[in-house]
Homo-oligomer: A and B are copies of this chain.
Amino acid sequence: MIKPTESELEILNILWAEGPSNVRSVNEIMNQQKEVGYTTTLKLMQIMTQKGLVERDESSRTHIYSAKIKAEDIQGEMLDKLLNSAFGGSASKLVLSALGSGKASAKELEEIKALIQKLEKDGNQ
């Protein structure tokens, strides 16, 4: 699978959140965080099309782009990379670090607990 660069990932995130979009609206969302020229975003999205990261509907003048890869796939891959590059392969260290920062809500903690219980049950069979 093709690995997106930093900027490409930003765009993918927008497409995942917003669904199929044109360059202008992607660029506007990008600009909420940092200033980026329109043609910069355009160029990136063109490159992403070439790489097969996004799909482009050219039926009208304003092209519509949509993410071609699933968020989960990239997430899993990047997580794996981080796991090995920064956490020495220890998933628990990573999880502990993630939970420790206090970013998960009570409901989310429940979800995680439920998954752990399931994993433990399956593991014992």
Contacts and interface: CB of A to CB of B under 8 A. Distances in A.
Interface of A is mostly: helix
A123 B105 CA distance: 9
A83 interface: yes
A75 B87 contact: yes
A115 interface: yes
Given A104-B92, A119-B109, A83 B98 contact: yes
Contact of A78 (B6, B86, B90, B108): B86
Interface string A73-91: 0111011101101111111
A110 to B, nearest CB: 8
Contacts of A57: none
Contact of A103 (B6, B74, B91): B91
A122 B95 CA distance: 18
A9 to B, nearest CB: 6
Given A13-B86, A82-B82, 14 more contacts: A13-B85, A75-B94, A75-B97, A76-B101, A79-B86, A79-B94, A91-B108, A92-B109, A94-B98, A95-B98, A96-B111, A96-B115, A106-B120, A109-B116
